[in-house]
Amino acid sequence: MRVSVDLDECLGYANCVVDAPQVFDIVEDGMQVHLLQENPPEELRTSVEAAALDCPAKAITVVD
Ligand code: SF4
């Protein structure tokens, strides 16, 4: 699985960080997400897909 974030759309709501902290983080001084891993392991699929669904800006894309 490959994850990407459209930083033009991300507004730093951090829902993704709550759902999948192994994959997403918010840098302290920033208002945008920082992708910790672009190719997370399969066992994180459920949380990554939840993050994509929960993102209010629809900024997260998950590709198989
Ligand atoms: S939930 Fe969406 S808008 Fe919020 S930090 Fe994550 S990617 Fe950005």
**Three-state SS sequence of 12-58:** CCCHHHHHCCCCEEECCCCCCEEECCCCCCHHHHHHHHHHHHHCCCC
Q: Mutate which of 5, 26, 62 to test ligand 1's pocket (most atoms within 8 Å of Cβ)?
A: 5
When the pLDDT of each residue in the chain is averaged and rounded to a whole number, the result is 94
Average pLDDT over residues 28-56: 94
Look at the pTM and tell me if it is higher than 0.95. Answer: no
Compute the average pLDDT of residues 7-11.
93
Ligand 1 site-directed mutation target among 7, 8, 9, 16, most atoms within 8 Å of CB: 16
Q: What percent of the chain has pLDDT over 70?
A: 97
Q: Indicate if the pLDDT at residue 30 is higher than 70.
A: no
Class of 2-63 in CATH: alpha beta
